[in-house]
Structures are given as structure tokens and as C-alpha cells.
A and B are shown apart, each in its own frame.
Chain A
Amino acid sequence: MRGHIPDSAPSHRLPALLLILPLGLFLAFNFLFPIGVMLSRAVLEREVPAAWPNTAAALSDWRGERLPDSGVVARFAEELRRSREDGTLSAAANRLNYDIGGFRSLLRHTAAALPLPPDRPPLEALIAIDARWGEAETWNAIKRACGPLTSFYLLASLDLRLAAAGRVVSVPDDRALFLDVFARTFWIGTVVTLACLVLGYPLAYLLATRPAHIAYPLLILVLLPFWTSILVRTTAWVVLLQRNGVVNDLLQWLQLVSAPVDLIYNRVGVYVAMTHVLLPFLVLPLYGVMKGISRDGMRAAASLGAPPLLAFRKTYVPHTIPGVIAGSLIVFMLALGYYVTPALVGGPDDQMIAYFVASYTNQSLNWGMAAALSVLLLLATLLLIGLYRSLVGARIRAWG
């Protein structure tokens, strides 16, 4: 079949390319470029080199063991004073504060006490303002932030940090968070995808095989919530699942439980609400695929003596695999980026990576961390999907 379609001649390709050029430009400028710029913040140092270019250059030659010499210190003091006046100090101070808590106020009160008195060695004068200037670690933090590239944010996203002499060490236990959150994100995504599959597969089968007067009203019931705002659907679950809600009342009336159970503001609530919100994304592609499957195979199998379940498994299920793959991939990918639903119905130990990306973006403005977490989530997701596709692809070939 493929051989009969002639390759389009090169002369026809140019107009075709020109026709899609606007789309290509649109995607590049509105999608690839801004996302690329945002993600590049994960590895680029901007603030300190922008505020103190000479200090950054001078510190790159400094070994980091003893305190820097007076030339470097004098240059730093001068640039610190200038950056306070032209407004670049704030960004640099916030960047250094990510590394060492308290750096912001150190820089601000130091800058306010400048210029240094001319009659003393500059380092001694700085130490007189604040003793922390006498510690190599203070200067090392500045050196680490001098760029142009940094591993700081990516390491921090993996609960690691650079210690003295370039060794990578784990952060203290009471701050180790993100490995846990990544694991949690993928776990919640997996559970929700499986739950959607268990609920969605029979539903899609029902929709695809019943006569229209039964199937269409059911389909509307699937689509209606699909068209409803996610916020409304999530809030509806709050009403249903809260301690004095419908579900708890029912459970108590049936005497299954004696006191209200916690069904919301914990992991259970997150699973339930996310599965409900994402279910249509699995049902619809699966329904589309099932609609196109002829049931003759099952009849043939039955006529040859196969019991119904065996006939279903051997002749029907293999045809639905593309729909299962498409639906579960969509659900899984959407689940990984979920933010609103866990924020509203989960506790602090149910928040996923997107929650922290949003919090770093909006609240603390640590865009380097937001970018680093996004990059890692993106990479991990691509890796998992590649793995999934190759596994399932092999499976299909085996079935086919």
C-alpha cells in the first residue's frame, strides 16, 4: 500500500513547508523558547555575576581554602556598595540566601555599613562589621554562585549539596524532601492510572457494546463531569467525603463504622478525587478504540467452544490494547502534573512535585529550584514513558 503513494516532489515541499511555517514559528516563540528559557534557570547562575561581575571573575581564581586576599575583598566591598544603590543587590542576596540561611541580612547590613574605612585592611574591616566574613564558608558560598553554570539547584532537588572541596553530600535528614516527593508523585500517578483502568475499562466496554438508547445517556454522564471545572468537581468531593458528609453518614447508618472515618484531607481523598477527575481521559480513547472492534471474533470463538471469558480475553482484549495504552498514558502524564486537587483534598504529605514548583515560582520566587524540579520531573517522565512503550510494544507484538 505504502509503495503506491508517490513521494511528493521537492518542488512541492517548499510551499507545504511555507504553509506550516506560521505554526512552526508560533510553537517556537510561544512554547519552546519560553519553556527553554525557564528550564535553563536550573543550571545557569545569573544573579551574582550580574550584581558583582568583577568579584565573580576574581573569585574564580581563588582556591577556597584560606580567606581571599585584600584585592578581591576591596573589589567585592566596592561592588557590594554599588549593587545596593542600583538595586541588583536584592536578587544576589536572595540567591545566596538559598544556600546559607541568613546571608540576605548579612549582605544588607554589611552594605549599609560601607564604604570601608580606608585606614584598615579591607578584610579586617569587613570582619569588624560581621564576624561571618572571617569564615571561608561565607566566601565559598559566593564563589559557588559565581557561575556561569551551577549544579546547585539540580543537586538540591535530589536532596544533595556541594560541601567543601567539591564533594557531593546528602542534606541533613530534617531537610531531605524531594526524593520522597518524586517517589510520591510517581506512586500517586501509578495508583490513579490503575484505578482509572479498573473502573474505566468495563465502563468503556459497556458504552461501546450497548445499544444507542442506553449507551448515549451513559456517555453523557461521562462527559458532563468532563466539561465541569476541576475546582467544582474537587469541591464536590469535599462535600461527599468530609466527616459529616454523605459517605460517612451512609457508612454509619449501615453500621459499618461507629465513628466518622477520615476520607479527605489525606491520601484517600487524593486518590478518589484524582481518579474521578481523570477517568474520562481513559474512558474516551478506550471507547473510541472499542467502537471500532468487530465482535465477530468473539462469536467465532464461542462457536468453536470457548467459554465467554476466554473468548473475551483471547479475541477482544488484544484489540483494545492501543486504547489502553493511549488512555493510561494520558492519565499518567496528567496525574504527574497535578496540583489543584491534592492542594485542596490532601495533607502536606500528599503534595506532588507540581505543588513545590508552584510554591517556588509564586511564593519564594526561587525560580532556579522551580526549573530544576521541572527538569527532573520531565526527564523522569520521559524515561518512564520510553520504558513503558518499549515494554508494552513488545507485549503487543507478542500478542499480535
Chain B
Amino acid sequence: MRTRSTVLLFVVAILCACSRGPEQRPLTVVGWGGTSQAAHRNAYWLAYEKGTGVPIREDVWHGGIGVLRAKVMGGDPGWDVVQAEVEEVILGCEEGVLEPLDWPALGGRDAFFAPAVHDCGVGAMVWSYLLAYDGDRLDDDPQSWADFWNVARFPGKRGMRKTPKYTLEIALLADGVAPADVYRLLRTPEGLARAFAKLDTLRPHIVWWSSISQVPDLIHSGEVAMSVASPGRLLLVNQTEGKNFKVVWNQNIYAVDFWVVLKNSPRRKEAMDLVRFMTRPGNQSRLPTLIPTGPSHKQAIAAMSAQDRARTPLAPENIRNALALDAEFWVEHLDPLTQRFNAWAARGQDG
């Protein structure tokens, strides 16, 4: 008897699950987790839910066009709005994985910081890689990537990202190349040879990290005297844990993260509406108060307090000598350069 009722219950449960009908899943927005997700939640998502009554479900991812491709291939992707890096925007737009945006509805392309504008994406935040160190450990303040290479004046190890991306750019900047010439040179064999030769001179002093989350520890423990870093986390730690991390904005490499809408989204209209909401200057102005990154709308950029602006790559004094990441270059050259970078690393000192 008991068995039969269990079976019956099971069958009923299955029937219910199958016949649930076209009830919609919640609008789903996907970020990178951690402090940036929290900042977006507090800047936009809570206010959007309150204002429109549309509930938002959150998810977290760690990038990769393959993930988006797989999501879109099988009909409803399950995600609607995603925070994506520029490479994913470029490839996803070409492959038709992303929905083109309605730019007039967003306020027109001219209303935004130029690198934050793409057919299929609009800037979510502007961030950068730069030189960082612990102010309590270094007596003298380094000023540039040339100082990063100067182990006589600043003894100690150097932390760098274990990939050619950012590393080759930094090598050329340290070698005295002007930001405007970096990618022109990297597209030539001579420029690449020059970047690797410059890396050769620092090689024994480099500690290679693989995740940006290792950087605060590397610097704070004194494992490295300075490191390539992203300022957001370090500056937040200064506030919350009373550390004295310092960053050098001179010659920073900045990039834009984008909001994109996936193809086949059954909630395309609300998704577009959320993107519009997140790019309105009034709403964007909240972001820099929560996390040290720049907004993308020109009015929101202008509305930042001087103190907040100084913590973003968008401050005039920070962007003056900065290098914009050339995602097209990396989409085209990532594979051969990753191979060459690792071959270089394996060859040892004489290479």
C-alpha cells in the first residue's frame, strides 16, 4: 500500500513538472561575482526591482565566449543580460550570439565614452591594470614601468600575470615606447622581439601569478615589492582593512567591460530595458561610489566626485599617459603569442 501511494505521488509530481506551462523564469543577469557583483546589485538591480516590480535572478560566470555560445545554441539561454569582456563582445557579435543594441534608445553612441561603444555591447565599467605596491614596505615611490624594471633602486621581486596579454604591452612601455605606438610595434616582428628582450632583463626577478586574487597577498606579504594589479580590490582593502596599498596610474592599461544581451532570450524586451536602466547617467553615477571603477556614460563620468574620479582610469591625469587595451590585437594574436610566451619562459635565461 505504502509503495503504491509513493509511486502515485511520484507520477503526480512528474505530471505537474511537465505541465507547468509557459510560466516564465525570472530575468537573469550575470556578473563576475565578488565585490563587482555586489556593487552592481546595489547600484542597479535592487533599484530596478523596486521601480519595475520585475524580479531579477543573479548568476556568476568567469568569462569565455564558449560559454555564451553553448548557452545560446540550445534555444532559451537561461541568461539574459551578461557582463562580458571586450573579446567576448567582438566574437559574440560576429557569430550572432549577442543581440545588437538599440543605440538611439540608449541615448546615442556619442553620449558614451568612445571605447565603451559596440554594436552588441555598452560599457558596464572602465577598469585597468597598473603598477601597485605596499606603501608601508617601499621607502621610495615608483613612478612608471621603467621603475618596475629598476631592481637596483627598488630591490625585490616583481609580480606579473602569467600570460602574454598585458605583459608584452608593459615590457614595451617600460622600454620607453609611447602608449600610442605599443600595438603598432607589437604587430611587427621587431616590436615583439623588443618586448621579449625587455622581459629577458627582468626575468629572474619575476613572480608569475595566475589569478588577480593572489595579488594583494603577494604584495602585502612582501613576496613581491611591486606587482601588476587591478586597483579596485586593492583600494577597497585599504578602506576595509586599513592597508596602505598604493597604485601608479602613469602608463596604466585600461579596458572596458560591457553589458550584452544574449540571442534567443525569451525576455529580450525586459533585458534591453534593464540595460537602458543600467546605462542611464543618474543610475551609473552610483557605481563609482561603490567600487573604484569608471562609468561609461559621459554625464556620469562628469558627475563623479573628484575623489572617486581619481580612483578610476577616467580621471584626466590618469588617462593622459594611459594605453587602451586593443582587444582586436589579442583576438587575432592570443594563440601564437601564448605559445611564444611559454616557449620563451621554458627556454630560461639565455633565450
Contact = CB atoms under 8 A, between A and B. Distances in A.
B334 A363 contact: yes
Given A242-B221, A347-B208, A102 B66 contact: no
Give the most central of A87, A366, A369: most B CB within 10 Å. A87
A174 B345 CA distance: 10
Interface in B216-265: 217, 221-223
B344 A365 contact: no
A244 B220 CA distance: 11
Interface stretch (B33-41, B88-96, B316-324): B88-96
A317 B66 CA distance: 51
Contact of B66 (A101, A181, A362): A362
Given A105-B332, A347-B345, A359 B66 contact: no
Nearest to B348: A349
Contacts of A316: none
Nearest to A242: B223
A94 B64 CA distance: 15
Contacts of B339: 175, 177
Contacts of A86: 96
B305 interface: no
A370 B148 CA distance: 35
Interface in B307-351: 328, 331-336, 338-346, 348
Interface string B150-180: 0000000100001000000000000000000
Contacts of A90: 91, 94-95
B6 interface: no
B332 A97 contact: yes
Nearest to A156: B339
Given A177-B343, A344-B210, A98 B335 contact: yes
A104 B87 CA distance: 14
Contact of B346 (A105, A180, A245, A360): A180
A365 B65 contact: yes
A244 B66 contact: no
Contacts of A98: 335
A199 interface: no
A83 to B, nearest CB: 11
A194 B150 CA distance: 41
A328 interface: no
A104 B327 CA distance: 13
B56 interface: no
A105 B345 CA distance: 28
B207 interface: yes
A176 B346 CA distance: 10
Interface size range on B against A: 35 or more
B343 A176 contact: yes
A343 interface: yes
Give the most central of B91, B331, B335, B338: most A CB within 10 Å. B335
Give the most central of A102, A174, A361: most B CB within 10 Å. A174
A100 to B, nearest CB: 10
B335 A364 contact: yes
Contacts of A347: 162, 207-208, 345
Interface string A226-242: 00000000000010001
A363 B64 contact: yes
A261 B331 CA distance: 39
A279 B343 CA distance: 31
Interface in B66-112: 66, 91, 94-96
B64 A101 contact: no
A211 B107 CA distance: 78
A351 interface: yes
A284 interface: no
A386 interface: no
Contacts of A291: none
B340 A348 contact: no
Interface string A197-235: 000000000000000000000000000000000000000
Contacts of B333: 101
B342 A364 contact: no
Given A90-B94, A175-B339, A365-B66, A243 B223 contact: yes
Contacts of A361: 66
A367 B223 CA distance: 36
A363 to B, nearest CB: 7
A362 B64 contact: yes
Nearest to B210: A343
Contacts of B65: 365
A91 interface: yes
A102 B334 CA distance: 11
Interface in A160-207: 173-177, 180-181, 184
A265 interface: yes
Given A104-B331, A242-B221, A174 B343 contact: yes
Contact of A351 (B95, B222, B334, B342): B342
A89 interface: yes
A353 to B, nearest CB: 12
Nearest to B93: A90
Nearest to B207: A265
A35 B64 CA distance: 20
A98 B223 CA distance: 37
A348 B341 contact: yes
A248 to B, nearest CB: 10
A349 B338 contact: no
A174 B340 contact: yes
Interface string B181-218: 00000000000000000000000000110110010010
A90 B68 CA distance: 15
Contact of A87 (B94, B331, B334): B94
Interface string B17-36: 00000000000000000000
Contacts of A181: 342, 346
A37 B65 CA distance: 20
A104 B332 contact: yes
Contacts of A174: 340, 343-344
Nearest to A362: B64
Interface string A76-118: 0000000000110111001001100110110000000000000
Contacts of A173: 343
A177 B347 CA distance: 9
5 contacts: A87-B94, A89-B94, A175-B339, A181-B342, A362-B66
Interface of A: 86-87, 89-91, 94, 97-98, 101-102, 104-105, 173-177, 180-181, 184, 238, 242-245, 265, 343-344, 347-349, 351, 356, 359-367, 369
Given A173-B343, A242-B223, A349-B346, 6 more contacts: A87-B96, A174-B344, A175-B340, A180-B343, A343-B162, A365-B64
Closest 10 CB pairs of A and B: A348-B345, A87-B96, A90-B94, A177-B343, A349-B346, A90-B95, A349-B345, A343-B210, A265-B207, A364-B335
